[in-house]
Every structure is written in C-alpha cells, then in structure tokens.
Amino acid sequence: MSEAKKYNAPVTNPETAPFWEAAKAGKFMIKRCTTCGEAHYFPRAICPFCFSDKTVWEESSGEATVYTYSLMRKSPTGPYAIAYVTLKEGPSLQTNIVDCDLETVKIGQKVKVVWKPTDGAPLPFFTPA
C-alpha cells in the first residue's frame, strides 16, 4: 500500500533547492511573481506568464480541490490515484491522492498536503481534508 511505497529522493538544483529545504520543515512553497502578481507551480526563477525575474517564494496553505483524477487499477506497487489538484492560491499541480479509500476520490473533493519521506527531502502528496 502507499505507506510501504518507496519514493526516490528529489535530485534538486539551484533553482528549486529552497523548495526542498522548506519541505524538510513541512512547508509547501509556491512561487509568486511580484510584477504580474500570478502564483505558479512548479517553481521557476522566471515567471512563466510575464517572464519577469521578480519571483518570490511564498508558503502555500496546502489546501486544494481535486480537479481530476484517475485510479490506476494495477501497478507493480499496487493501485494508485493520480490527480491534478488546484491550490487555494490558484496553481494546479500533479500529485497522488493518498491515505484514503481510493474508490472515494472524486472531482471537487477538498484535499490537503501530506508529506512522504525519501532518502532526501520529503515529497508532497494530497489526502482528503
């Protein structure tokens, strides 16, 4: 089951290292552009909307809504639910819905971030709120 699943540590790079450092402290970070005001995920140095380099780190509430999902019925590590969730702050991101009855996942469901350990920084997943 998902608890037993092993995940590879993120490789990280200079552009995204602050995200993974914050993750170790349980903080889920997004980037926001101070020029156009838009938030984005995954984090970039340059805003993907207005191309300004004035982007800053911001802690997300970790609260989100399921945009869509698909329950993969079989895999070498068992069934899993891949999903896109939309953060309260705006950006949508790819994740898995975990630690719940996967048959109950549905579009519009409220979810919150939960961290899963690796040999490096933990990885963000989402679970019913």
Partner 1 sequence: MTIKGKAYIAGIYEHPTRHAPDKSTAQLHAEVAKGAIEDAGLTKDDIDGYFCAGDAPGGLWPMVDYLGLNTKKLRHIDSTETGGCSYLIHLGHAAEAIAAGKCSVALVTLAGKPRTGPMPPRASGAEADFESAYGATTHNAYGMCAMRHMHDYGTTSEQLAWIKVAASHHAQYNPHAMLKEVVTVEDVLNSPMISDPLHRMDCCVVTDGGGAMIVTTPEIAKSLKKPLVRLIGHGEAAKGPRGGKDLDLTYSAGVWSGPRAFEEAGVTPKDIKYASIYDSFTITVLMQLEDLGFCKKGEGGKFVADGNLISGVGKLPFNTDGGGLCSNHPVNRGGMTKILEAVRQLRGEAHPKVQVKNCDLAIAHGTGGLLGVRHAASTCILERA
Calpha distance 34→36 (Å, rounded): 6
What x-and-dash track marks residues 3-22 binding partner 1 by CB under 8 A? Answer: ----xx-xxx---x---x--
Q: How many residues bind partner 1 (CB under 8 A)?
A: 39
Minimum CB distance to partner 1 smaller for 26 or for 70 = 70
Calpha distance 4→70 (Å, rounded): 21
Calpha distance 75→90 (Å, rounded): 31
- Shortest distance, CB of residue 84 to partner 1, whole angstroms? 6
Report the site for partner 1 in 57-96 (rule: CB under 8 A). Answer: 67-75, 80, 82-84, 86-87, 90-96
Block residue for tokens 């998902």: 2
